[in-house]
Structure 1
Amino acid sequence: MASLIDPKLIAGNSNKKLANEIARRMPLQDGKPVSLVDTRVERFNDGEIFVEVYENVRGEDMFLIQSTSNPANDNVMELLIMADALRRSSAARITAVIPYFGYARQDRRTKARTPISAKLVANLIARAGIERVLTLDLHAAQIQGFFDIPVDNLYAAPVFALDVQHHFGDLSDVTVISPDVGGVARARELAKRIGAQLAIVDKRRNAPGEVSEMTVIGDVTGRKCIIVDDICDTAGTLCKAADTLLEAGASEVHSYITHGVLSGPAIERITNSSMKHLVITDSIELTPEARNCEKIRVVPLAPMLSQAILNIANGTSVSSLFEEGTLGPIYDRYYQNG
């Protein structure tokens, strides 16, 4: 059933820049001005989080924007406490917009006596009174099943496809690369969208976080290679994959990664790497070091997320945003105006 009320946006502290961009772009798509609900989110001296919502939200369709990125625990608690404040203030519906869903890599038991933390966080979100989740490129699509509430999992592939077509022009010599066997489906999706070939970098580990050997499966000789993945954390695997591809004959290497976690030595590795560019989304707010890195370029999520919020609020299709045909006109304004 279509919503009879306009959506209201509220944001935690994890990515205020993205939240403000979403609010700024929503009027471009439905003509009505939108601003973030005035809220105070602060910490007591002992680290406890306190939230106060200054505006009336009774009966409102609330969209709570909060990535659960570093510091993950603080941002998760902010999300839960803000949801509780909205629920106790009689909001009609609370949708959590979580561009980056932290703990997603803990989606199964890898050893005896280990947790499935992604499921625990999903339970906490539902218990806090959130009725729907809007997220992007979950580490494993099956995580949607961890939630007992509806989950709309958007994909960066159509946005990346538009960006590749805009910046590369001729795609006849482009090959899309999966950095491991587990990411083949994600890489194949982008390759299909841009009509490119597909290859795989197979890696073997001696220990967690240590890549001992990489092998290219497929011919990349003279090709422009685009590595596709969902998360770039310390960038060790990514940079080594770029070196391996160049050794195998690739002419140049670019990377398209949805979530730029970029922890530890990541920025230094990317700066000194053989990659020409690393393209990420702004699902996680960039550090000053990342913003100043000449090899890192950001594709904005605000055009897609603002349209997704409007579609959810109006009871229309979110899956339409899986296609470049729908996103193209939205992102045309970005490429024309920035």
Structure 2
Amino acid sequence: MQYSPSCQTNSAGKSESAHLKINSVTRAVAVLACAVGLTACSSKPETADIQKDLAEAYACPVIELSDVKKADGAEADGKLYDVSFTHTVSVKGGADAAAKLFSEWAYLEAQVQPTQIALDKALFDADVRAAQGQLPDGRNADPEVRRLTQAKEQLATRLASLMPCETIEAVTRLQVMRSAAEEAAKSGQSQIAVPVAIKVRGTGRMGKAESGWHFAGMPAFSTVEIVTANATYPRFKAEATANTSAPTEARRLVGKVRAGNTDSCLEVSASGMPSATPCRASRTWRRAFSAPAKTVPCAQSRGNSMTRTKS
């Protein structure tokens, strides 16, 4: 059987085209593998590494992280690297949402201690009545104790719903903005400059592990700028939860119990009861790099372009 020249030409053309496609796919796979290898095995932390850890530290539904930038860096030793960076934390929803958050948060938090004082007094009075035989079912059967216990639980629930952030990083940034909002609200104006975002500078030491670069401890943060926008600041009227004229000794005792609240964070326990205890730090900063990291073969690291930001 004889083949025509046209058939031979078409067959050769198809073979060459298929060969070119295979080479193109092979090159694409090689480039992708190289990029993945450089990201995982970079000889120094990059912006993406910093952003990954910050995203975990600021995980909270009412805020968002943006504009993460590595500003500078220097090798500390073989597997540790000192970095400085900037980032922005914003309140979701803009100025109106921020105004409502800060105003209601301050209003609710201001009720925590008076409610606790009133409950302590009611419990004391109920104990006295129970000892005198006036409360056969104990102090928890006292109407005032039950009312104040319910008020305390409702207050804790409202606070947890309004401000669900749990990590000290997220709470601290929001507290700084809330303080600025409260200061602006002292003017008495209905429209004030409400903080909507905070620009932050951070410095920290990162360690190299198989999964990439991570912070070896909590970075040091400082406020660069508080971004504001005009909005109506809600004014909440104080509720008369209870008679808070507790005895002097009861007030002093409560003050002592709450004296260690260095972070001014309200922790809500599983039972729903609020307690003034320090906020817990994000697990991001609790990673340990004391054990030597396993050596992973790497391709040559990509270059690092450093952008310095103005203070």
TM-score above 0.5, yes or no: no
Structure with greater Cα Rg: 2
What TM-score bracket applies, with the shorter chain setting the length? under 0.3
TM-score, normalised relative to structure 1: 0.20
Determine which structure has greater relative contact order: mean sequence separation of CA pairs < 8 Å that are 6+ residues apart, divided by chain length: 2
